[in-house]
Chain A
Amino acid sequence: MHGFANPARFLRMARWLMPLLLVPGLVLAFGALAWGVLVVPADRLMGDTVRILFIHVPCVWLGMAGWSMIAISSVIELVWRHPLASIAARAAAVPGAVFTALGLATGSIWGRPTWGTWWVWDGRLTSFLILLFLYLGYIALASAAQRDMAAGGGASRVTAIFGLVGAVNIPIINRSVVWWNSLHQPPSITMGKSSIDGTFLWPLLIAAIGFSLIFGGVVLARMRMLLADIQAEARLRRKAMG
């Protein structure tokens, strides 16, 4: 793990890995969406709205995966002081927030024809909305910490603690449909089991893999951006100090 602590070594790897994730990710994700729209038949109960799940489920999965990445990176930062851990956490925040917002929007659009309402204040939807607010708080805190670090402070650990504490919401989102009565259906895919027919399951899995690759490529690109910003700021400070 510490082999990638050297930013120069990490940047060499990120340069070839980023397009390797983004290009197949875009092909797989949009190919699976086209498959879901053009090939997959309408569902017996949901009708054509089942096609919304091919974008909704990957977005929700990545919203939760994004915060899981923030939490794991925060632990690595707090325990091992890995120099790239806080950058990885910060890089996951914006794509995580975007996919959480897309998950909420596509879920709401699916809910209107299926449930008859855009929104209900039940456990799943409310805890997922809280995840979006946690992302926004994390992004604001990380941005303030960056300015504080530039001024010689040490607010980065506060951001890491916030990332770790916010992770308590992830199992709540996951178990909310089991713990509380909800319009949202219970989990369709669990460890080793699925109640979804193969006709729908395969394009859904391919879409999830494709969007996950896109997420990985975006995180690497944002890490490159953050590292470049840090390097430019450090050089400007050195020049200013003579």
Chain B
Amino acid sequence: MHEQLNQWDFVAAALGIGVVGTLVLVGWTLWAMVRAEKRRDSVRGNK
């Protein structure tokens, strides 16, 4: 039996996972960097 697959479903899924994964990585990294630098500055401030 020949299976009918809509190729665009797979294209959308792959691009969606790739784009969302990349944006989450960038956003999470920037958030973690800002949080760590704020913590370092607050530790410096509490002499």
Contacts and interface: CB of A to CB of B under 8 A. Distances in A.
Please determine whether chains A and B interact with each other in the same assembly.
yes
Given A33-B19, A228-B36, A228-B37, A55 B43 contact: no
B18 A232 contact: no
A110 interface: yes
A48 B25 CA distance: 27
A205 to B, nearest CB: 17
Contact of A225 (B15, B19, B36): B36
A105 B25 CA distance: 16
B15 A113 contact: no
Interface stretch (A22-30, A145-153, A189-197): A22-30
Interface residues of B, number: 26
A119 to B, nearest CB: 14
Given A37-B11, A48-B7, A113-B7, A224 B37 contact: yes
A183 to B, nearest CB: 16
The 3 closest A-B pairs by CB, nearest first: A55-B18, A228-B36, A48-B7
A102 B8 contact: no
A75 interface: no
A22 B26 contact: yes
B1 interface: no
Given A51-B11, A232-B39, A236-B43, A109 B21 contact: no
A235 interface: yes
Contacts of B39: 228-229, 232
A34 B32 CA distance: 29
Interface stretch (A78-86, A120-128, A170-178, A214-222): A214-222
Interface of B: 3, 5, 7-8, 10-11, 13-15, 17-19, 21-22, 25-26, 29-30, 32-33, 36-37, 39-40, 43-44
Contacts of A214: 22, 26
B19 to A, nearest CB: 7
Given A109-B10, A113-B7, A221 B40 contact: no
A94 to B, nearest CB: 8
Given A221-B29, A224-B33, A235-B44, A113 B10 contact: yes
A55 B18 CA distance: 6
The CB with the most chain B CB atoms within 10 A, among A112, A211, A217, A224, is that of A224
